[in-house]
Structure 1
Amino acid sequence: MALPPRAPYAEDPARSLGRKVQEPESRTRTPFARDRDRIIHSTAFRRLKEKTQVFVAHEGDHFRTRLTHSLEVAQIARSLAAAMGLDADLAETIALAHDLGHPPFGHAGEDELQVQMEPYGGFDHNVQTFRVVTKLERRYPRFDGLNLTWETLEGVIKHNGPVTEKLAKPSWSAIAEFDAEYDLGLSTWASAEAQVAALADDIAYNNHDVDDGVQAGLFDLDELRDVPLIGPIVVQVRRDYPDIEPRIVRLEAVRRMIGAMVDDVLAETHRRATEAKVASAEDVRNLDHALVAFSRDMLEDLGRLREFLMSRMYRHWKVNRTRSQARRILAEMFQLFMAEPDVLPTEWFARSQNRDEAGRARVVCDYIAGMTDRFAIEEHRRLFHLDVWN
Structure 2
Amino acid sequence: MLDKNIDLNGKRVLVTGAAGFIGSNLCKELLKEFKDIHIYGIDNMNDYYDPKIKEQRLKEVLELSATKGDEEKYAEDDAPFVFERGSIADRNAIDDIFKEFKPEVVVNLAAQAGVRYSIENPDAYIEANLIGFYNILEACRHSYDAVKTDANADYKGVAHLVYASSSSVYGSNKKIPYSVEDKVDNPVSLYAATKKSNELLAHAYSKLYGIPSTGLRFFTVYGPAGRPDMAYFGFTNKLVKGDKIKIFNYGNCKRDFTFVDDIVKGVVNVMQVAPAENENGVKYKVYNIGNNDPVNLLDFVDILQQELISAGVLPEDYDFEAHKELVPMQPGDVEVTYADVTALQEDFGFKPATPLRDGLRAFAKWYKEVYC
Larger Rg: 1
TM superposition score category, shorter chain reference: 0.3 to 0.5
Structure showing the higher strand proportion among its residues: 2
Q: TM-score, normalised by structure 1?
A: 0.31
Structure showing the higher helix proportion among its residues: 1
Bigger RCO of structures 1 and 2 (CA < 8 A, at least 6 apart)? 1
